[in-house]
Structure 1
């Protein structure tokens, strides 16, 4: 089998380069379009067994001659061309056919990036490969039914996940004339050959232990009940030098390190560094010319493994689309860790940390669970305040891709000699994601935000906050995000029964650079402004560091200095410390993100409850409302007279919007008619639906 290894979709671990590379690649080839004749791609499925029928997402990738299509699939660096299409009920010996491309029918047609259609591929020599991401059908406990790719201990890659079908890589010459490119989906993607080796079952991985590095995996009852199938959680546990399982007196504080998918080599924000491992295993931090050797801090470091069907991790909170991951981690996995390792089981000794995605997760874990954790040390976190979601003024904008002056809203940047260069816009990234999956199923960054921060749509998938093609923002959908706006949660509960103004004082530690690659400093600045307006500048430690970019440890510190800082915080807030974390500051009453409230507000039953049919009444004319629909639905109305729907009977269609009143005035007086209003709703990711009003007699 050739080139079918999983490819991780961890945007924050990539090193961006200029997005001009993609344009330069196009420009150095002869620009001779094949459009007059058309390019067709045929994918055969006869080489492997795929059961009675498979649904999923087909991906066709073209890369420059001599390169591997999976070597570099990031949107800021790749010169590849991507094309995706949803498929249903694919069987053995079927042929999947791709042609053309569209920006309008992303559910059934081919969606391409950066080219819109297959016919726009420039003449040239390429290497081609195709994949079929296989979806499973899940019936969740709230009644929603979804088709998703369930990961298999591989970090939920956007393409080429375990069990997917893949073709061999072939050389292709695009001639500029009509042609058919044929590939055979003749391989099944195996479990990846990581540094560790998976032991016993596929979900969440499990790896071989060493003296100080241990691995655990549990079946989560909470998640299994929600998804209607076995769901697992895992963790890598790094024990301090000298840890003795038979020592019944020593207990250690724990740093719960939030990050992306953690493979088998430890808490990945730390122990992937060889120098760290050497010092940790020996227990001695080597000195320099000006310093002496010192002991490593005596703490346990834990990294979670909680990949989901939507991303390589769950964001460690309860969400209507992913399920009760917050409760599963905090009430199933952490108690399991504490039962098997010698931890201090009090909030002051449980610390949350992480960067980027992990920065948001660590802050949210503390803010929602101050009864469980003592403090967070969060670096360059995802948007803490949705007044700025990256660079999007989400609450005040009409479009996620354009500022009011028409300029592009940026998403990724770099600084060269102090000058900012934009590598990708929000439109670029969202369109790139759409090639990997519709309905927020790409397993990439913007889509997981939709799944975590938003509620379920009527279709069972995340209620997207904007149109992924046009960028049009749906304010009603954005309103549901407020429960995950951490600044909003704190400010709203400053003096409520949660008492967050008092409970969280001096426990939040956040750092970010003004040159953050993903504009995350803007959300931190909004968060800082809102909490300091109530608590003053000393309420939380929020450091916005001049000219620092995305990456590194908290406040740009060296790893050992940072770990010793955390250890000092733990010691200071211990019962015999200088500033003990008293029980009145860790009450269960301060909890947020309560699962029953999350699913009640955002699950399938809530989606059903917010729908309604059209209603009409006679008030001179016939006056009607179009009913309630999910945000973003394009609605077409039709007056139906005496059950006749043809236009020759006066039943022409007309566009309507939610909240709009519609009127019907009969053409003849004295004629008795039965009148009804039919409204048809259409939206990407939804089945077209027609709803009928009550009937009135004129």
Structure 2
């Protein structure tokens, strides 16, 4: 009788001493004949490529044997449903609970890839290696020589900033910082001149590493004259729960207050900034775009304009292709059909159900949908954010959606409070999004535009035909042309009468 693989055995080599906790994950994918790999993984952009199983472990000792059930907490199905064939297996212990946000990384434990015939006996997987932290030099070494040289020079010039927030520290009961990197104009410090400031916010998956790179590219751009002379502050919005969006939240804490009431005055005391509303600008892509919109609309007198690119949904009548306010709304199905999550080339490549259920197996922290709930949802009796929808059925909780509407639906707030907001906000909202955005984010942007148009507000919306989420910034051979266009629009507001140049001294 053929043995059944219901639970895969896992142990740790004796050399990895100590007690190890985290999310223990098992991945399996078909083994193509004549190929080999050192990594078996999943991707939301290829949701059926691999099988995944997971469980929490509180303390796994070196040399200790444990197992992961392959029947219950699995995606897309139980492993026993795999078609007959040869498969590659790999185990990962996600010690930082951030697999949903960054995938495997420094500190995680991994096993070698083991092949096995299915159906058949489960392979023995042994966690034998701890992934190291890559140095900046190692990361640069992966780049082409010319880019490596330019980026290295930019990184050497940027400055790290970190401010311990009293408000966030009080909320969490331990020191919590607002942090990022600053890029300064080429002539900064040679005289008493002050400069406009751009606050750039990273998107989902961003980190201090990506913030340093973004600041370095701003440094390079100003040195070449591609960008006007401004102070760029690239903010890190990553957290253990995903992205905190710089929004005050009952779950994540007062990030908006920390930024505007604490970090901003401190920062303007450190650098020669104009330190006035008309010279403070916001920009960001995706989740960073939503954060920029939120900060501009929540603190309209503080900032002089937002340029949000492909922002996450600003109108919850169209949130991940779902009208959250519709009667009997379901996150997974509408009119008998699966709700699409991603598209590419006009083809649906993943559904909301696939995306959410994969995220659930990978862990309860840091995933995109869970990240939204940590920002937008009320706190439940268990101390965690109340889920927007049931992960098994897709049924939406109307109590949660009403809380979202009252507190974080940007379109709803603008319509409700425009009389109060108009004087400080009119003309400050600029949105650029691809007409074929990969995550369908053009649709909620159109709804936001319609709301502002009905209010008679002055705003700027650009829908770039044929562009998706990841190619929006490209123009010709320049993959980042949109950044320069945005920067010069900002500079024209801060310095009226200035002209765009191709090279600045």
TM above 0.5, yes or no, is yes
Does the 8 Å contact 1:167/1:183 carry over to 2?
no
Q: Retained in 1: the 8 A contact 2:160–2:181?
A: yes
- Partners of 2:305 and 2:430 within 8 A in 1: yes
Corresponding residue for 1:184? Answer: 126
Q: Which residue of 2 aligns with 1:113?
A: 75
The 3-state SS of whatever aligns with 1:336 is helix
1:543 paired to 2:462: yes
Alignment match, 1:344:
274
Say if 1:554 and 1:562, in contact at 8 Å, map to a contact too. Answer: no
Q: Which residue of 2 aligns with 1:217?
A: 162
Residue 432 of structure 1, CA deviation: 1.1
Q: Aligned partners of 1:411, 1:493: CA distance in 2, in Å?
A: 31
2:237 and 2:316 mapped to 1: Cα distance?
Answer: 25
SS in 2 for 1:361: helix
1:539 to 1:481, Cα distance in 2 relative to 1, 3 A: same
Is structure 2 residue 94 aligned with structure 1 residue 129? Answer: no
Gaps of 5+ in 2: 140-151, 476-480, 499-505
Closer, same or farther: CA 225–455 of 1 in aligned 2, 3 Å: same
Q: Check whether the contact 1:431–1:468 (CA below 8 A) recurs between aligned residues.
A: yes
- The structural deviation recorded for 1:401 is 0.6
CA offsets 1:247-273 (integer angstroms, 9 cap, x no match): 3x210111111113244475655755x
Q: Cα–Cα, structure 1 residues 100 and 392, in superposed 2: closer, same or farther, change >3 Å? A: same
Deviation digits for residues 410-460 of structure 1 (CA, Å, limit 9, x no counterpart): 110122xxxx2111111111111111113xx1x221221121111211112
Of 351, 361, 364, 1:435 maps to 361
1:516 is the counterpart of 2:437: yes
Give, in whole Å, the separation in 2 of the partners of 1:194 and 1:101: 41
Matched, 1:393 2:323: yes
CA deviations over 1:5-39 (Å, ceiling 9, x no partner): xxxxxxxxxxxxxxxxxxxxxxxxxxxx97x7234
Matches within 5 A, 1:368-517: 368-396=298-326, 397-403=328-334, 405-415=335-345, 420-438=346-364, 441=365, 443-482=366-405, 483-495=407-419, 499-517=420-438
What is the match of residue 228 of structure 1? 173
Do 1:196 and 1:208's aligned partners in 2 also have CA atoms closer than 8 Å?
no
* Equivalent pairs, count: 473
Q: Is the 8 A contact 2:202 2:211 kept in 1?
A: no
Distance in structure 2 (CA, Å) of the matches to 1:190 and 1:327: 36
Label 1:195 to 1:539 Cα distance change in 2 as closer, same or farther (>3 A): farther
More moved, 258-267 vs 225-234: 258-267
Query: Alignment partner for residue 199 of structure 2, among 244, 253, 256?
Result: 256
For 2:158 and 2:383, locate their aligned partners in 1 and report how far apart those are by CA, in whole Å: 39
- 1:524-543 matches, cutoff 5 A: 524-534=445-455, 536=456, 538-543=457-462
Contact 2:376 2:408 in 1 (8 A): yes
Distance in 1, matches of 2:473 and 2:49, equals 34
Residue 234 of structure 2 is matched in structure 1 by 303
Secondary structure at the counterpart of residue 461 of structure 1: coil
Q: Could you tell me how far apart the structure 2 residues matched to 1:391 and 1:132 are?
A: 33
Question: d(CA) in 2 for partners of 1:331 and 1:321?
Answer: 19
Q: Does 2:222 match 1:280?
A: yes
Shift of 1:92: 5.2
Deviation at 1:391, TM superposition (A): 0.8
User: C-alpha deviations, 1:274-296, integer Å up to 9, x for none?
Assistant: xx765533x434xxxxxxxxxx4
Paired residue secondary structure (1:130): strand
Distance 2:425 2:103 in 1: 41
Distance 1:504 1:453, change over 3 A: same
Structure 1 pair 250/326, CA: closer, same or farther in 2 (3 Å)?
same
Matched residue, 2:71 = 101
CA spacing shift, 1:131–1:336, aligned 2, 3 Å = farther
Secondary structure of 1:181 counterpart:
coil
Distance 2:114 2:371 in 1: 34
Matches of 1:230 and 1:125, distance apart in 2: 50
* Alignment correspondent of 1:571: 495
Mapping for residues 672-687 of structure 1, pairs under 5 Å: none
* Partner Cα distance (2:169, 2:12) in 1: 32
Residue 433 of structure 2: SS of its match in structure 1?
strand
Maintained 8 Å contact 2:27/2:41: no
The answer to whether the 8 A contact 1:359-1:379 is kept is yes
Partner of 1:680: none
- 1:209 and 1:333 map into 2 onto residues whose CA distance is 24
The CA RMSD over aligned residues, in Å, is: 3.1
Secondary structure in 2 matching 1:561? helix
Rate the CA distance shift 1:63–1:172 in 2: closer, same or farther, 3 A: same
